[in-house]
Amino acid sequence: MKNKAAPQVSIIVLNWNGWEDTVECLESIYQIKYPNYEILVVDNASQDDSIPKIKQYAQGLVTVESGFFEYNSLNKPLEVFEFPEKEYLNPENIKTDLNPIPSDKKLILLLNNENHGYAKGNNLAMNFVLDKLDSDYILVLNNDTVVHENLLLEMVNAAEEDVNIGCVTPKVYYYDYKGRRDVISHAGETFNLYIGRGKRFCKDQVDDGQCDQSRPVDTIEGCSILFKREVLEKVGLFDPLYFAYWEDTDLCFRIRENGYKLLYVPQARIWHKIGVSWDSYFSYFVIYHYLVRNRLIFMWRFASRLQKTTFSIFFIFYLLANIILMLLKEDLETSKEGLRAISDGINDFRI
């Protein structure tokens, strides 16, 4: 870092029935070139053997094979600090001082008693960090990602340049796009409230330097967001009303409404296994939470009256097209999910 000690970063990785992705993600983090971080895995009551496998990884008993790095056994075993939800919700009861232990020698496990979803699951971990740890930044990172060794160095350096920067996003590549690793998934996004849709820069393009300029953006994808501590303390965390999807967009808008900037930093890079948590794009869960209900909640919250009007016209045609598509596939249940989500999206916003 520039003439001062590196700010401390807490990295939160949410796991739910995905230990193989999680340990690959963890191994990539433990190989980063940054001197002051800690890793927290928050588990949403996984029903597989995630916790035993993650512990075995920490002991050095599970090696990780990846095309992105060579497994490093030299920092194993890791010292594991395990806290069930009832315990870590009251950080004052935790007497262990977690801060002095070296970054690459410890792993904090937070064990939730149920599947709280993306929003609340990450919130519980972020509250633990804010209450118990001395971190200057919190990085929320999907477990189905692999990070470049310079990720934190580039993101923190960029965030430190301007007090008005609230959060930072890296350049996100597809983990595997038809055998390629240089295809961009996300390089920041603009968002149009008149139609309720975002437009990603350089999406699905082979990286040839066309998105190598840092820029302010409207929204940041939730797979990797670096937040300043004071911003979260002022603005708040994810809204658990969403459960999963659109909570990241909601928080980005609240951060911007409070006068902060969102910054895309192309020198920081990750690779994302897009959609591994979806059974299929048109699964009931995605139709219900992502395409319909949560989009409506977000739009009702942030759009002006004119924007709501234009969005409603656009969305009706968009939704009908998807329902017709499902009917053509003789998928009546998914079509019903879409219609039910309209009602819930409007009613839930009133909560």
Q: What is the DSSP code (8-state) at residue 305?
A: H
pLDDT of res. 344:
57
Residue 329, H or E segment:
none
Question: Which stretch of 18-27, 153-162, 269-278 has the lowest confidence by average pLDDT?
Answer: 269-278
Give the position of tokens 């594991």.
80
The mean pLDDT value of the chain amounts to 88
The sign one gets for the Cα dihedral 324, 330, 331, 337 is: positive
Question: Which stretch of 17-26, 29-38, 277-286 has the lowest confidence by average pLDDT?
Answer: 277-286
Give the residue with greater pLDDT, 102 vs 247: 247
d(CA 120, CA 126): 10
Contacts of 208 (CB under 8 A, 6+ apart): none
Residues facing residue 10 across a β-bridge? 38, 138
Residues facing residue 206 across a β-bridge? 183
d(CA 264, CA 185): 13
Alpha-carbon distances, residue 309 vs 62, 302, 319, 351 (angstroms): 54, 13, 15, 22
> Which residue type does 86 have?
K
d(CA 253, CA 138): 18
Cβ–Cβ under 8 Å, residues 224 and 172: yes
Torsion (CA) 254, 258, 259, 260 in degrees, nearest 10 = -60
Say what the pTM is.
0.89
- Find, among 156, 150, 158, 171, the residue nearest to 32 by Cα: 150
Q: What are phi and psi of 153, to 5 degrees?
A: -55, -45
Q: Is the pLDDT of residue 107 over 70?
A: yes
Residue 227, H or E segment:
strand 224-228
Vertex 119: Cα angle to 45 and 198 (nearest 5): 135
d(CA 268, CA 270): 7
Give the residue with greater pLDDT, 349 vs 206: 206
Section 308-320 average pLDDT: 86
